[in-house]
Amino acid sequence: MFDQRFFKITIAVLLFHAGLLYLIQSGLARKMTEAVIAPEIIARIIPMEPPQQPPAPEPPKQQPQTPPKQVKVVTPRPTPPKPQPTPTPVASLPPSPTAIEAPPAPPAPPAPAPEPAAPAAPANAAPRAVGIGEIACSPPQVTYPSQSRRMGETGKTVVRLTTDETGHVVKTAIVTSSGSTRLDTAAVNAVQAMRCKPYMDNGRAVAVTAQQPINFELN
């Protein structure tokens, strides 16, 4: 039994060596060896070229300077003055005895005399008395006193009024009384509230005086 195991091992070793020899001879082993060996890496160092510098600019060309042109100054020649002709004397003729003298111009008419100005009114002159119808005044607005109405008071009051140059009533006075103080006071208040236009005399406003009657009647 020991001989058979030994025999089998011996045959297996022989077969292994025979196969290995066959591989060596056929070149397969060499290919496997080349496959196992790492390829050789070759690195080349390439020198870097220095950067190219731009060419220097060319210096500007100097243009030739043109000499300034010379201007000739021409001085004008003075012109000689022209000779003036000598005036010929004219002989004076004697006056003709038959010459007719022109008649003298008539004298200018005298300027018209200015119109005489209107005489100014004296400063302290009394107002001119006129009729109440000659003054453009508003009608008096009379308020009948309530107490006089209850007591039945009636009558007629005449009030004198004075207007200045502007037409304002500046003064009042009772000329004729109605017999009632209340009625007279109401009449004076109504006249003082009147509005008048200036009274014109020859184109000039003057102060005037007039009488305004006020009637008090119960209906």
* pLDDT value at 99 more than 50: no
pLDDT confidence of 8, banded at 50, 70, 90?
confident
Q: Cα(9)–Cα(16) distance, rounded to whole angstroms? A: 11
* pLDDT value at 213 more than 80: yes
What is the structure's pLDDT at 173? 95
CA-nearest of 120, 105, 111 to 206 is 120
Which tens digits make up the pLDDT trace of 153-177?
999 999 999 999 999 999 999 999 9
* pLDDT value at 14 more than 50: yes
What average pLDDT score do residues 141-151 get?
Answer: 93
Judged by average pLDDT, the poorest of 98-102, 150-154, 202-206 is: 98-102
Answer whether 186's CB lies under 8 Å from 143's CB.
Answer: yes
What are the Cα distances from residue 81, in Å, to 74, 75, 218? Answer: 21, 18, 118
What average pLDDT score do residues 179-207 get?
Answer: 93
CA-nearest of 180, 159, 186, 184 to 171 is 159
Q: Mind spelling out the 3-state secondary structure of the chain?
A: CHHHHHHHHHHHHHHHHHHHHHHHHHCHHHHHHHHHCCCCCCCCCCCCCCCCCCCCCCCCCCCCCCCCCCCCCCCCCCCCCCCCCCCCCCCCCCCCCCCCCCCCCCCCCCCCCCCCCCCCCCCCCCCEECCHHHCCECCCCCCCCHHHHHHCCCEEEEEEEEECCCCCEEEEEEEECCCCHHHHHHHHHHHHCCCECCEEECCEEECEEEEEEEEECCC
Could you confirm whether domain 128-216 is CATH 3.20.20.70?
Answer: no
What is the structure's pLDDT at 40? 54
What is the structure's pLDDT at 120? 52
* pLDDT value at 26 more than 80: no
- Share of residues in the chain with pLDDT > 70 (%): 54
Question: For residues 219 and 83, which has the higher predicted lDDT (pLDDT)?
Answer: 219
Domains in the chain: boundaries: 2-35, 128-216
What is the structure's pLDDT at 18? 82
